[in-house]
Amino acid sequence: MDQRTQVRSAAPATLLFALLTLATACTTDTGGVRGTPGAAGLRDPYFPRLGNGGYDVTHYDLTLAVDAGSGLLRGTAEITARATQDLSAFNLDLAGLDVGSATVEGRPAAVNRAGSELTLRPDNEVEDRLRRGRTFRTVVRYSGAPRTFTDADGSKEGWVRTGRGSVALGEPTGSMAWFPGNHHPSDKASYDIRVTVPEGRSAVSNGELASRRTAGGRTTFHWRTREPMASYLATVAVGRYTVKQSATGDGMPVVTAVDPAAAGASAAVLARIPEVLRWAQETFGPYPFASAGAIVGLSGDSDYALETQNRPFFPGPPDIGLLVHELAHQWFGNSVTPESWQDMWLNEGFATYAEWLWNEEHEGVPVRDSFDAAYENDANWAFPPGDPPSAAELSGPPVYGRGAMVVHRIRQRMGDDEAFFALVRGWLKAHRHGNASTEDFTAYVEKESGLDLTGLWGTWLNGRSRPARG
């Protein structure tokens, strides 16, 4: 995410209130079905009711029809999941939309709703499919006007209406505005997303375009993401985009979707995507996905850019620094995803440090100068990057600037650039397409470097006052 454009609140106030106050939707009365209900939340430090327990989603197959005029959405979500306990019932996160029906393994399931929690109680006939370790399929049909959430700082997420269409932006909780699922970053899955829109408009999503078919005045775009993706990184952008496909030097597809009004001002920076990816691969290791690119809307479509997987979303033409930041997130955040929202500094600290590295190599600005500027910025010392005081500060300056300072201090302590960058590449390889916590990171760094960095963590990462510059 681009913190420079807008300091983001991590949760819409109204949604956070609903999530924190809703009651547990199901009881231990299982009606004769063996097993217990899955938890209605994963106890994230900032969003305790976000996500759901008892299962792990492996694949989402979403079929959406968008009415560009009214903004109404009709959807079918086919969710493939593996039970992690014997289940009598389980929950899905969905905000605002109306549920028409739900089935589990083809049998009707009772649906109870409490705020943004759906509780599905499957038919007794399918209880064997809900044993621990078994895979089961859930289908939910839903419709309505998808919601746009206003965060405490005034920025928008969820299903955001733009001047020429709409775009789905999901960090940290907005993805539940347009499809039901397990919307915590710790549960990653592959995706098929089919979107039908009026002919003449485009629907751009993550991954690769599997097909495009037009009939009866409407066009269906089918996008496929084979690599695991956290739901907050999923997107659908609907509008009159100019969509182009090119390739990097080694043949990887690069898909860009640009509002025609932003095309001229975006062209030069977007042409540098292969260059930035080549540099990032040399710095951080192999690119983790099968395609890359960008979605560029208009200024005013959003207050911030977002690192949506494969192709980040930009509200208007980006500059090169912002492009570097969001492409770096494909490694830091998208491939290696936070275990909880408290670990977000691992995303933003490294993406900010990538900007510092790029500026040193391409703009002649030494990393030390970027470090010094961040050190002198009082906003970066408001709280420790790994311990924001509330959800409203999850995207505050310390998560970015002080997070990058932590990375640089590790580099300084190691005193060997070759070893430092080998450590970073090793970290990305060890957790590729997975999740990782701050504790995972600090333990990995100490093990691989052979250093006791207790003092560094205590002052730069977790300290509550500004340490000596060093």
Query: Could you read off the pLDDT of 268-281 as tens digits, one per residue?
Result: 999 999 999 999 99
Three-class DSSP category at 393: helix
Can you state the percent helix, strand and coil of the chain, rounding each to 5?
30, 30, 40
Average pLDDT, the chain: 93
Please give the pLDDT value at position 8.
Answer: 40
Please give the structure tokens belonging to residue 66: 């968008």
**Per-residue tokens: 1:** 């995410």
Residue whose pair of structure tokens reads 């500027």 in the numeric block: 373
What digits encode the pLDDT tens for the residues 196-235?
Answer: 999 999 999 999 999 999 999 999 999 999 999 999 999 9
Who's near 215: CB < 8 A, 6+ residues apart?
none
Positions in the chain short of pLDDT 50: 4-32
- Residue found under tokens 């997975």: 434
Would you state the pLDDT for residue 352? 99
Handedness of CA 455, 461, 466, 470 (dihedral sign): positive
Tokens of 103: 């089935």
pLDDT at 3: 58
- What distance in Å separates the CA atoms of residue 10 and residue 395, rounded to the nearest whole number? 7
In the block, which residue shows the tokens 């097909």?
211
Per-residue pLDDT tens over the stretch 107-129: 999 999 999 999 999 999 998 99
Contacts of 363 (CB under 8 A, 6+ apart): none
Q: What is the pLDDT of residue 33?
A: 52
Please say whether the beta carbons of 13 and 152 come within 8 A. Answer: yes
Residue among 332, 283, 341, 307 at smallest CA distance from 431:
332
For residue 129, the number of C-alpha atoms closer than 13 Å in the C-beta half-sphere is 17
pTM of the complete model: 0.93
> Is 105 in contact with 129 (CB distance < 8 Å)?
yes
Residue 356's pLDDT is what?
Answer: 99
Calculate the alpha carbon distances from 391 to 52, 151, 175 in Å: 19, 10, 17
Give 398-409 pLDDT, tens digit per residue. 999 999 999 999
Stretch (H or E) spanning 34? none
Under 8 Å between Cβ of 114 and 26:
no
